[in-house]
Amino acid sequence: MSACQSLRRTPPIRATLFLVLAAMLPLLSACGINTIPTLEEQAKASWSEVQNQYQRRADLIPNLVETVRGYAQQEKEVLTAVVEARSKATQTTINADQLTDPAAVQRFQDAQNQLTGALSRLLVTVERYPDLKSNQNFLALQSQLEGTENRIAVARRDYIEAVRRYNTELRTIPSRWIAAIFYPEAEPMATFQATTGSETPPKVNFGN
């Protein structure tokens, strides 16, 4: 059956609607009808990178803890706090579909902040052990941890910017109208809340 035959058999109202939509498609495309889903996917991809970098930090911690324990077994309380904070941080995860839930994002951020604090307290204790600070494995961990903290800061910054662009698109005209018609399920995403000192990555300093 040809397209013309199909249109002749289509009720007049539906046929008219079909022709109007067909005529509007180029205009809608020019107005950015695909911008909202594009920005949404970019924000989700940025979130994946945030999670990747936090996971990279979590993967470094067991080796760090074992290295410190080998030189400072008496720091049991501090080591235990790091292990417990890591466990909580790795268990507190959210997927891309939960990014519109500020409470879920806040729980994730709180768990990671607790791990950051526990790590900071552990690294302070290192100052008491000169032999530990000169250990080659420890020096390698220092370099890796510094790099990871920098990557986390960059990934968080990129995610915040991606969310800002997406949320702005949802709230401004004409995208707001386009969202209401074509993407009614689209909701603003939550972002990280700034904490004191969050504008720079934590300093990982073993006193060398």
pLDDT digits (tens, 9 = 90+) for 55-102: 999 999 999 999 999 999 899 999 999 999 999 999 999 999 999 999
pLDDT given at position 8:
47
Q: What is the share, in percent, of the chain residues with pLDDT greater than 90?
A: 67
In-domain check, residue 3: no
| Residue found under tokens 């199909």 | 6
Q: CA torsion 17→19→24→26, rounded to 10°? A: 150
In-domain check, residue 82: yes
- Structural domain span for residue 64: 34-183
Instruction: State the pLDDT confidence band at 123, using cuts at 50, 70 and 90.
Output: confident
Interior CA angle at 49 toward 93 and 64, to 5°?
A: 70
In-domain check, residue 19: no
pLDDT given at position 77:
94
CATH number at residue 69: 1.20.1440.20
Asked whether the predicted pLDDT for residue 181 surpasses 50, the reply is yes
Query: DSSP states of 10-63 as a string?
Result: S-HHHHHHHHHHHHHHHHHHHTTTTHHHHHHHHHHHHHHHHHHHHHHHHHHHHH
Kindly state the average pLDDT of the residues 142-161. Answer: 94
| Per-residue pLDDT tens over the stretch 2-52 | 444 544 454 567 666 556 555 555 555 555 789 999 999 999 999 999 999
Provide the domain count of the chain. Answer: 1
pLDDT given at position 25:
53
In-domain check, residue 103: yes
Asked whether the predicted pLDDT for residue 164 surpasses 70, the reply is yes
In-domain check, residue 51: yes
pLDDT given at position 62:
95
Instruction: State the pLDDT confidence band at 161, using cuts at 50, 70 and 90.
Output: very high
- Token pair of 37, please? 């889903």
AA letter at 76 = K
In-domain check, residue 127: yes
68, 132 Cβ separation under 8 angstroms: yes
In-domain check, residue 198: no
In-domain check, residue 111: yes
Instruction: State the pLDDT confidence band at 195, using cuts at 50, 70 and 90.
Output: low
- Token pair of 87, please? 């466990």
